[in-house]
Amino acid sequence: MKLVFATNNLNKLAEVQKMLPKTIELLSLKDINCFEEIPETATTLEGNAKIKANHISENYQYNCFADDTGLEVNALNGNPGVYSARYAGEPVNIENNISKLLNELKTTDNRKAHFKTSICLNLNGSQFLFDGICKGEILHSKQGEKGFGYDPIFKPDGSKLSFAEMSSEEKNKISHRGLAITKLITFLSKLS
């Protein structure tokens, strides 16, 4: 079965393809000649995942899934959350996002936070949602060079390392996306 993963992030694509049964061939947006930007206008992660998945199934007639991820910080009432990518405004810049977040937390000792990933799967006319949460804390400064996004300032509970100090295999075992993808894969594996 061909299945579109509504992403242009080749790292994410490779990460997921490795975890899928061989009967499922993963296609990227580029593979289906989808080059337009899909507006992420929802106020929840689930909502954005649905918008992206629906855009593909309605306009390209493929089975597909889409994900959306946010970093929810307790002391900031769950922000940046669904706005994680553009936290410090446009153009998207992760260094500015990280600086803004560290600055916002200067006056509090509560550094608890979690990443959340929502996945929406559109399969043969039905819709299924999966999520994954990884709890941890925001570090005082960046640690590590690996990973992407907020990884250098996030340390998952039970680990001495930040996400940016882990190999992708170590991170995937415990990460929000890894957990959500595992639920998706368990579901897909039962079908094939």
Establish if 94 lies at the interface with ligand IMP (CB under 6 A).
yes
Which of 28, 57, 69, 172 touches ligand IMP by CB under 6 A? 69
Establish if 165 lies at the interface with ligand IMP (CB under 6 A).
no
Question: What is the smallest separation between the CB atom of 145 and ligand IMP, expressed in angstroms?
Answer: 13
- Which residue from 74, 58, 75, 54 is spatially nearest to 66, judged by alpha carbons? 54
Establish if 177 lies at the interface with ligand IMP (CB under 6 A).
yes
Q: Which residues contact 131 (CB under 8 A, 6 or more apart)?
A: 45, 46, 116, 117, 118, 119, 180, 183
Question: What is the smallest separation between the CB atom of 94 and ligand IMP, expressed in angstroms?
Answer: 6
Q: Which residues contact 76 (CB under 8 A, 6 or more apart)?
A: 104, 105
- The answer to whether the beta carbons of residues 183 and 132 sit under 8 Å apart is yes
CA dihedral sign, ordered 75, 68, 97, 89? negative
Question: What is the smallest separation between the CB atom of 24 and ligand IMP, expressed in angstroms?
Answer: 21
| Of residues 71-90, those binding ligand IMP (CB under 6 A) | 84-85
Half-sphere exposure for 110 (CA within 13 Å, toward CB): 9
Dist. CA 17–CA 154, nearest whole Å: 25
Please say which residue, 34 or 147, places its beta carbon nearer to ligand IMP.
147
The window from 121-129, 136-144, 145-153, 181-189 that contacts ligand IMP (CB under 6 A) reads 145-153
Dist. CA 58–CA 75, nearest whole Å: 39
Establish if 137 lies at the interface with ligand IMP (CB under 6 A).
no
Active site residue 31: no
Establish if 172 lies at the interface with ligand IMP (CB under 6 A).
no
Establish if 151 lies at the interface with ligand IMP (CB under 6 A).
yes
Dist. CA 185–CA 192, nearest whole Å: 11
Question: What is the smallest separation between the CB atom of 163 and ligand IMP, expressed in angstroms?
Answer: 6
> Would you tell me which residues interact with ligand IMP (CB under 6 A)?
68-69, 84-85, 94, 115, 147-151, 163, 175, 177
Task: Tell me which residues are annotated as active site.
Answer: 68
